[in-house]
Amino acid sequence: MRQGCVDAHALPDHSLLLYHTGSEVAFPLNESGAFIWEMCDGAHTLDQIVDAVASKYEAQREQIDKDTRAFLDVLIHHDLVRPQVPVA
């Protein structure tokens, strides 16, 4: 789930600039990173995000799974997203 303290600016080349208003740090994301960010809306599970990335980009599914999880870890580490516990 995206944090509310993050200001996101989508750019014409499909990259995205995230600005954390608390830490005052900017994070540039490339197109695939921006795609994943957009899916962090609380409505998609991690597996659904990996599926969506795999259907959009041509790469080994295993690699995409690994990279997507690693990328989300980075977003969590910088307090840009927070993990969401699924509601039963």
Partner 1 sequence: MTAVLHAETARQDVFGVYDFSFRFLSSSDDARRSMRKLYAPFGRPASGKPALNAVIEVEAGGKYRWQLGLAGGTAPDLHAALWSLEAALCETVIRSQRSRIAVHGAAVYAGQTLALIAGCSGAGKSTLSLALAKRGLAVATDDVALVDAGTLDVLPIPRYVHLDENSVSLLHADGFQFAQAREHHRHITPADLGGAATQLLPASVLIFMAGARRERPRIAPISQAQVAAHLLSQTGQGPLTNLETVAVLTSMVSGAACYALTAGPLTATADLVADVVLGGNKGNCTVRREYQQ
By beta-carbon proximity to partner 1, the closer residue of 15 and 84 is: 15
Quick check: 14 binds partner 1 (CB under 8 A)? yes
54-83: contacts with partner 1 (CB under 8 A): 56-59, 64, 67, 70-71
Residue 81 and residue 20: Cα distance in Å, rounded? 11
Residue 70 and residue 67: Cα distance in Å, rounded? 5
Residue 55 and residue 22: Cα distance in Å, rounded? 34
Question: Would you tell me which residues interact with partner 1 (CB under 8 A)?
Answer: 7, 9, 11-17, 19, 21, 24, 26-33, 53, 56-59, 64, 67, 70-71
